[in-house]
A = this chain, B = another copy of it.
């Protein structure tokens, strides 16, 4: 049976559309008798007001758009989960899009969403976008007064609410932990060197080293991209200099590094300690279990969603006091690092 509209109902009872509308919305202006008849009929015919029409009328549709760079990365899944939870609570739906780390796909998606489809947007920038510093599409969004929350991979050029992790501190903490457990030759392996997040962590890494007067050794810094062969790079790294610790900038990288190191006969953590990022199942179940920096993805998602919905629902007030929320990371110590003395 095809969808039934108010008009159909009105016709069936030979009343006007507006009467039918009021009856269904239980308006006091309508006689009880009529209301009951109409409501019963509506229920029977399974009438549902068309969202499409309501959306147009209300210029809103209780939907928020989310763009993440990569859904196969557990961190972003956690964030998504958090967003969904609070959005759902508050009666919002989610349009989720994946930028695949591509500037172009991100821009297209943004352009698409910038046309009334969503009430607000939660975005984490693609690496390419951060590298190129091309945030026009975001600026457009802001200019069009669509509430926007950036998380994790953010940009200073965009004026909006943000939820980030203290990546500088995270890099610093992890590196210091290596140092405190007696490691000296700490390698830094990053698949996201061009993102804000990667840069900040690197700065934290540098800072921790310099605090102990350890010079930065570029032989220990491995930045790689999608097309690089990590295995080869690791060989070069391990052959090129003594290494007793490795900081891997995302979960899968840390795990792969762990496996490669073990495959080459090193013992973890005795010969080499390893710390990863994103406290996911992989880190927990791999052997030896990985010490990781937890960014609390779910919490980030929840915060971003709360912040956004707040903005949406108080659209007029205080437009320009944007907040940046910094979520503290925590180091989850497991078996891939030596014990503190």
User: Which residues of A come within 8 Å of B, CB atoms?
Assistant: 1-3, 46, 48-53, 55-56, 59, 61, 63, 71-72, 77-78, 80-81, 84, 88, 93-98, 105, 111-112, 114-117, 140, 143-145, 252, 255-256, 259, 281-282, 285-287
Contacts and interface: CB of A to CB of B under 8 A. Distances in A.
A84 B51 CA distance: 23
A65 to B, nearest CB: 9
29 contacts: A1-B143, A1-B145, A2-B144, A3-B144, A46-B143, A50-B116, A51-B115, A51-B117, A52-B59, A52-B61, A55-B56, A61-B117, A71-B81, A72-B77, A81-B98, A84-B97, A88-B97, A88-B98, A88-B105, A93-B97, A93-B117, A94-B96, A94-B97, A96-B96, A252-B281, A255-B281, A256-B285, A259-B285, A281-B282
Contact of A116 (B51, B286, B287): B51
Contacts of A282: 281-282, 285
A112 B93 contact: yes
Contacts of A59: 52
Contacts of A61: 52, 117
A259 B287 CA distance: 10
Given A94-B97, A286-B285, A80 B71 contact: yes
Contacts of A96: 84, 94-96
A334 to B, nearest CB: 13
